Amino acid sequence: MRLSTLLHTTALCLSLGIGLVSTAAQAFDSAAAINDVGKTVMSLGPNGEKPQPASSVTLSEDELAKIKAMHAKAAIVMHYAGNDWSQAQIEGLKAQFEKMAIEIIATTDAGFKPDKQVSDIETVLAQKPNIIVSIPTDPVATANEYKAAAAAGVKLVFMDNVPKGFVAGKDYVSVVSADNYGNGVATAHLLAQALGGKGDVGVIFHAADFFVTKQRYDAFKKTLADNYPDIHIVAEQGIGGPDFSGDAEKAAGAMLVSHRNIKGIWAVWDVPAEGVIAAATTNGRDDLVVTNCDLGENVAINMASDGIVKGLSAQRPYDQGVTEAMLAGYGLLGKQAPAYVALPALPVTKANLADAWQQVYHKPVTDKIKKSM
């Protein structure tokens, strides 16, 4: 810009009371935004419920004694058990049920197939459990079987998602979730921070009617659109599984070939992120930036070794499992329970990886992660 033009522009701005603001001052403060995640829960429940903290779920010594005297039986009916998140939920449930003298009579894995979960529920009901803790693979396709369970007097506690048409306090005790909207927000800020606030990116989302993964996807896209005008989503691909890593690898590979200027890719959780890592390796893209929701061992190893995973936002699955088991106790006692309980999101980078792993899984990082640090 010529000096005369610059002086004229400055004078005009000052005369209008606008002033000149530097580009750096206009840049969105990603670090501050990431720091704010976890201070409040951003998600609402499946039916728009306001979140209640896990700390509000308590059982007195007298209530625990009453539950123990019931000798109740519980079944854990998972949508999918092939990741660290699911296993941590199950571990939390087992630990708390043991404290409550509740016997776990079955733990099932539907492999993300609604028809398999329907069959699992039918099989479990034949064993006459008092409690089922579950996460529906599909809120419509599984609804009738959960209705049958409720009609049989089984106390239902859900993870993340509820069957269509179900009413808290009537059809089920409560639903427990992470702040999945907050996880989507955090991963958008983490991606933007790693990219320096600009660049073309790709998105790999969950192509299913699944409440919590939709929350992540919506929050991620909205956060980028609202705060980072120089980051552009140039490719999106949904994956349905059950081979989420393989599907994501194909999707990411296609993105990297079709859009050679892509600087980053967001993955809806850690297993799809593993597929993105594989695609980046195949295409020689060690400069790619990846963020995802959920803290699994493989993405943690990549992050610890200065790989392409630069940030993620974790759930707290062990604590979710403990809370679900306690709410099952509410159901046995007929105690009024909050309709929706949510635990805060936890942004993770290499800097806080070890501490975050301890918070998420209630144990130190694995030897494989430690060797990569």
Give me the pLDDT at residue 4, please. Answer: 40
Residue 103: CB atoms within 10 Å: 13
CATH of the domain at 79: 3.40.50.2300
Q: Which domain holds residue 98?
A: 54-179+317-343
Give me the pLDDT at residue 16, please. Answer: 35
Does a structural domain hold residue 73?
yes
Task: Please give the Cα distance from 232 to 224 (Å, whole number).
Answer: 8
Coil vs helix vs strand at 352: helix
Give me the pLDDT at residue 21, please. Answer: 36
Does a structural domain hold residue 135?
yes
Classify 189 in phi/psi space as left (phi over 0), alpha (psi -120 to 50) or beta: alpha
Same domain, residue pair 359 and 231: yes
Query: How many residues comprise the chain?
Result: 373
Does a structural domain hold residue 69?
yes
Q: Band of the pLDDT at 297, cuts 50, 70, 90? A: very high
Give me the pLDDT at residue 115, please. Answer: 96
pLDDT tens, residue by residue, 131-144: 999 999 999 999 99
Token pair for residue 118?
């329907």
Same domain, residue pair 335 and 203: no
Same domain, residue pair 235 and 362: yes
Average pLDDT over residues 351-370: 96
Same domain, residue pair 166 and 199: no
Do 52 and 340 form a contact (C-beta atoms < 8 A)?
Answer: yes
Average pLDDT over residues 212-229: 97
Give me the pLDDT at residue 119, please. Answer: 97
Same domain, residue pair 67 and 171: yes
Q: Provide the whole-model pTM.
A: 0.85
Does a structural domain hold residue 9?
no
Residue where the block lists tokens 């000798």: 71
Number of domains present in the structure of the chain: 2
Residue 82 has pLDDT above 80, yes or no: no
Average pLDDT over residues 338-354: 97
Does a structural domain hold residue 207?
yes
Does a structural domain hold residue 366?
yes
Same domain, residue pair 92 and 154: yes
Coil vs helix vs strand at 170: coil
In the chain, at which residue ranges do the beta strands (DSSP E only) sit? 73-78, 103-109, 131-134, 155-159, 174-178, 199-206, 231-239, 262-267, 289-293, 309-314, 340-343, 346-348
Task: Lowest mean pLDDT of 81-85, 108-112, 216-220, name the range.
Answer: 81-85
Same domain, residue pair 193 and 305: yes
Does a structural domain hold residue 16?
no
Same domain, residue pair 155 and 248: no
Q: Band of the pLDDT at 110, cuts 50, 70, 90? A: very high
Same domain, residue pair 117 and 264: no
What mean pLDDT value characterizes the chain? Answer: 92
pLDDT tens, residue by residue, 241-266: 889 999 999 999 999 999 999 999 99
Q: Band of the pLDDT at 210, cuts 50, 70, 90? A: confident
Does a structural domain hold residue 190?
yes
Coil vs helix vs strand at 176: strand
Same domain, residue pair 265 and 152: no
**How would you list the strands of the sheet with 346-348, edge to edge?**
231-239, 199-206, 262-267, 289-293, 309-314, 346-348
Alpha helix (H) residue ranges in 56-201: 61-70, 84-99, 114-125, 143-151, 180-195
Same domain, residue pair 249 and 154: no
Average pLDDT over residues 90-97: 97
Give me the pLDDT at residue 58, please. Answer: 97
Same domain, residue pair 257 and 367: yes
